[in-house]
């Protein structure tokens, strides 16, 4: 009976897939615990406190601002009707299409000394130099908080809007009858009931903040993720980079645990016989236009400004669209993103179906653990993949050369394989979640009937499950592909020499202050992101 686990291809396949997903995370801990040169005491006494302090500042600042903007906008569009409210309800999702690093490049270009704002101020007031006036520092921690919050608040907005809409109008009617005003309604009724959704959205925002590299590097903010690049690529110490990566993983796990503990004893229920949908209150005059302005500002900062600045550069540098480097980056992006999307979704389907089919305890235990990759920043996965892959590559090349006298080179790290693998681990939770939810909606009697009619397990998957869940599979493919296109830290660490995707091309050109050449790639990345936003809008109608 014990050997049947290994003879069952579905159980064995599920365990292998789960092991491949978890391997980079486990290898990070192994490398950190067994470094060739232990620089942990040096890190702990010098740079690590600064990395931790800046990371904590960004996490708290971005999460706080994103929660305020996201929950406030969700409250307004759910509870009130004002000019353009229907449009703003969906426009508030658009910043999700813009990678945060693109927003950072656009903001600096717009507000820097040579940008249109300061140039216009000098022309208007007759100032001749920076000594004549004061202007806030653009490349700073505060600006990084603003850019990241503008890009990430839709996570809080989506969850908060769903929570507000699910609440019963009875509670608000009672509160109004007791004399509660608009602000009191939000503070005493709406906010407590939506707290779990706001906390979950804020946790996602914090994890995405820790993962960011493009914004913090451009603004010269030394965070833990930036520290991985510095210690590994500049100091050449892989063990130290792994130790910083472990700090990030522990920070993420603590964050997730605190979020779950904070909601452990909270229970919110709607009584079906007293539940009535919310009836939005119409706002007119100054109040109505004030609500419109409050909801339009995040869209302007998170979407209109970046797209406007990048589009202006793209139009002014039309020849950049035909640059061979851009075309190669586009081809590479389509290749690695497509391979990663197909492979990740196929693996997610196999794992979920294998767990449902076998009923074995080990695959069931591994299924929820495989989602940890989504919480692991791309830089952490880069450390966990590149070092063991490089060792395996060198051992394989030496073995083949010793046996056959042929130098095959670096098969994995010398190609895009490592990037595809990292994308698969990073976004496996999306594929697995989509497959699990879609298969859970299929009544068990259908596959049971297929099996009773002689269908094999594989035949049941192809004849019953796949036709019924193809829409969910297609959505998962697209969402994974979009996230792969936007991913920057893992791609920077794992790409072969002189290999660019659209994201790394934007980073390289913008780092050289060449926003004109970066603009076409940035627009292409944003256009792909708009597809994902469209899917979200359609799913949340």
Select from 251, 248, 258 the least CA-distant residue to 200: 258
Select from 443, 420, 538, 432 the least CA-distant residue to 490: 420
pLDDT at 181: 62
Give 70's pLDDT tier (boundaries 50, 70, 90).
Answer: very high
Please check whether residue 414 lies inside any domain of the structure: yes
pLDDT at 177: 62
Q: pLDDT tens across 323-356, in order?
A: 999 999 999 999 999 999 999 999 999 988 888 8
Q: Is the dihedral of CA 167, 173, 178, 180 positive or negative?
A: positive
pLDDT at 1: 44
Q: Is residue 18 predicted with pLDDT exceeding 60?
A: yes
Least confident piece of the model among 57-71, 118-132, 451-465: 451-465
Q: How far apart are CA 492 and CA 501, in angstroms?
A: 9
Q: How far apart are CA 255 and CA 242, in angstroms?
A: 20
Q: Is residue 273 predicted with pLDDT exceeding 70?
A: no
Please check whether residue 242 lies inside any domain of the structure: no
pLDDT at 50: 95
Q: Is residue 540 predicted with pLDDT exceeding 70?
A: no
CB-based contact 156:206 (threshold 8 Å):
no
Q: Is residue 374 predicted with pLDDT exceeding 90?
A: no
What total of structural domains would you count in the chain? Answer: 2
Q: Is residue 171 predicted with pLDDT exceeding 90?
A: no
Same domain, 199 and 343: no
Same domain, 291 and 339: no
Q: Is residue 174 predicted with pLDDT exceeding 70?
A: no
Q: Structure tokens of 20?
A: 């491949």
Give 245's pLDDT tier (boundaries 50, 70, 90).
Answer: very high
Q: Structure tokens of 282?
A: 């119409």
CA dihedral 341, 509, 416, 421 (to 10 degrees): -50
**539 or 425: whose pLDDT is higher?**
425
129 burial via Cβ count (<10 Å: 0-12, 13-18, 19+): exposed
pLDDT at 221: 94
pLDDT at 59: 95
Select from 305, 298, 142 the least CA-distant residue to 219: 142
Integer angstrom CA distances of residue 514 from 14, 301, 483, 520: 46, 22, 25, 12
Please check whether residue 88 lies inside any domain of the structure: yes
pLDDT at 3: 46
Same domain, 383 and 307: no
Domain limits for position 469: 1-20+318-541
The secondary structure element, H or E, covering residue 289 is helix 285-299
CB-based contact 169:277 (threshold 8 Å):
yes
pLDDT at 38: 87
Least confident piece of the model among 116-130, 270-284, 442-456, 474-488: 270-284
Q: How far apart are CA 524 and CA 510, in angstroms?
A: 15
DSSP code at position 178 = T
**What would the mean pLDDT of 258-280 be, rounded to a whole number?**
60
Give 462's pLDDT tier (boundaries 50, 70, 90).
Answer: confident
Number of H helices, E strands in the chain: 28, 2
Highest mean pLDDT among 64-73, 127-136, 377-386, 456-465: 64-73
Please check whether residue 248 lies inside any domain of the structure: no
Same domain, 307 and 347: no
Measured in residues, the chain has a length of 541
Please check whether residue 253 lies inside any domain of the structure: no
Same domain, 300 and 392: no
Least confident piece of the model among 74-78, 288-292, 337-341: 74-78
Residue where the block lists tokens 């601002």: 65
Per-position DSSP letters for 235-255, written without gaps between them: T--HHHHHHHHHHHHHHHHHH
**What would the mean pLDDT of 188-217 be, rounded to a whole number?**
86
Beta-bridge partners for 81: 282
**What would the mean pLDDT of 65-79 be, rounded to a whole number?**
93
Question: Residue 455 belongs to a domain with what CATH number?
Answer: 1.10.3720.10
Please check whether residue 44 lies inside any domain of the structure: no
The angle at the Cα of 152, spanning 148 to 156, to the nearest 5 degrees, equals 140
Q: pLDDT tens across 19-32, in order?
A: 888 899 999 999 99
pLDDT at 169: 61
Cβ atoms within 10 Å, residue 149: 28
Same domain, 403 and 447: yes
pLDDT at 399: 85
Q: How far apart are CA 522 and CA 515, in angstroms?
A: 9
pLDDT at 414: 79
SS3 80: strand
Q: pLDDT tens across 87-139, in order?
A: 999 999 999 889 999 999 999 999 999 889 999 999 999 898 888 889 988 89
Q: How far apart are CA 423 and CA 419, in angstroms?
A: 6
DSSP code at position 321 = G
CB-based contact 480:328 (threshold 8 Å):
no
Q: Is residue 300 predicted with pLDDT exceeding 90?
A: yes
- Supply the mean pLDDT for the chain: 86
Same domain, 354 and 295: no
Q: Structure tokens of 407?
A: 């130098």
Please check whether residue 41 lies inside any domain of the structure: no
Same domain, 322 and 309: no
Give 445's pLDDT tier (boundaries 50, 70, 90).
Answer: confident
Same domain, 210 and 169: yes
Per-position DSSP letters for 185-214, written without gaps between them: HIIIIIHHHHHHHHHHHHHHHHHHHHH--H
pLDDT at 186: 72
Q: What number of CA atoms fall less than 13 Å from residue 185's CA on the CB side?
A: 22
pLDDT at 539: 67
**184 or 272: whose pLDDT is higher?**
184
Please check whether residue 12 lies inside any domain of the structure: yes
């Amino acid at each position: 009976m014990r050997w049947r686990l290994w003879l069952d291809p579905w159980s064995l396949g599920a365990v292998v897939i789960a092991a491949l997903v978890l391997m980079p995370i486990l290898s990070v801990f192994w490398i950190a615990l067994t470094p060739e040169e232990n620089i942990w005491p040096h890190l702990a006494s010098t740079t690590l406190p600064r990395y931790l302090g800046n990371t904590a500042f960004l996490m708290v600042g971005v999460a706080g601002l994103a929660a305020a903007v996201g929950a406030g906008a969700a409250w307004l569009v759910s509870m009130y009707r004002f000019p353009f409210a229907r449009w703003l309800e969906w426009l508030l999702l658009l910043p999700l299409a813009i990678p945060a690093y693109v927003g950072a490049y656009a903001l600096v270009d717009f507000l820097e000394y040579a940008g249109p704002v300061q140039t216009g101020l000098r022309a208007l007031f007759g100032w001749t130099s920076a000594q004549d006036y004061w202007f806030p520092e653009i490349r700073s921690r505060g600006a990084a908080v603003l850019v990241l919050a503008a890009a990430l608040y839709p996570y809080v907005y989506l969850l908060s809007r769903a929570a507000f809409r699910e609440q019963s109008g009875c509670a608000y009617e009672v509160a109004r009858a007791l004399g509660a005003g608009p602000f009191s309604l939000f503070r005493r009724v709406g906010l407590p009931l939506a707290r779990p959704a706001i906390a979950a959205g804020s946790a996602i925002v914090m994890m995405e903040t820790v993962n960011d590299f493009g914004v913090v590097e451009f603004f010269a903010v030394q965070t833990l993720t930036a520290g991985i690049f510095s210690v590994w690529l500049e100091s050449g110490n892989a063990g130290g980079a792994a130790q910083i990566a472990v700090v990030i993983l522990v920070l993420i796990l603590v964050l997730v645990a605190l979020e779950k503990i904070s909601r452990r004893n909270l229970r919110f229920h709607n009584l079906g016989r007293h539940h009535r949908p919310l009836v939005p209150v119409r706002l007119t005059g100054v109040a109505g236009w004030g609500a419109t302005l409050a909801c339009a500002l995040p869209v302007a900062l998170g979407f209109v400004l970046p797209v406007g600045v990048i589009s202006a550069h793209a139009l002014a540098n039309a020849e950049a669209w035909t640059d061979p480097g851009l075309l190669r980056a586009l081809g590479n992006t389509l290749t690695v993103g497509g391979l990663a999307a197909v492979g990740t979704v196929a693996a997610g389907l196999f794992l979920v179906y294998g767990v449902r089919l076998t009923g074995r305890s080990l695959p069931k235990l591994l299924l929820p653990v495989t989602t940890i990759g989504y919480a692991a920043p791309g830089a952490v996965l880069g450390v966990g993949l590149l070092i063991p892959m490089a060792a395996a590559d060198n051992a394989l090349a030496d073995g083949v050369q010793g046996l056959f006298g042929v130098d095959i080179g670096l098969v994995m790290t010398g190609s895009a394989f490592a990037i595809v693998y990292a994308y698969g681990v990073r976004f496996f939770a999306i594929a697995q979640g989509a497959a699990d939810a879609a298969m859970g909606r299929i009544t068990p009697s259908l596959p049971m009937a297929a099996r009773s009619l002689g269908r094999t397990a594989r035949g049941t998957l192809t004849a019953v499950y796949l036709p019924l869940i193809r829409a969910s599979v297609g959505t998962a493919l697209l969402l994974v592909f979009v996230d792969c296109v936007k991913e920057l830290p893992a791609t920077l660490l794992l790409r072969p020499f002189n290999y660019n995707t659209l994201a790394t091309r934007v980073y390289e050109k913008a780092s050289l202050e060449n926003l004109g050449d970066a603009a076409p790639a940035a627009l292409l990345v944003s256009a792909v992101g708009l597809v994902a936003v469209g899917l979200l809008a359609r799913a949340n109608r």
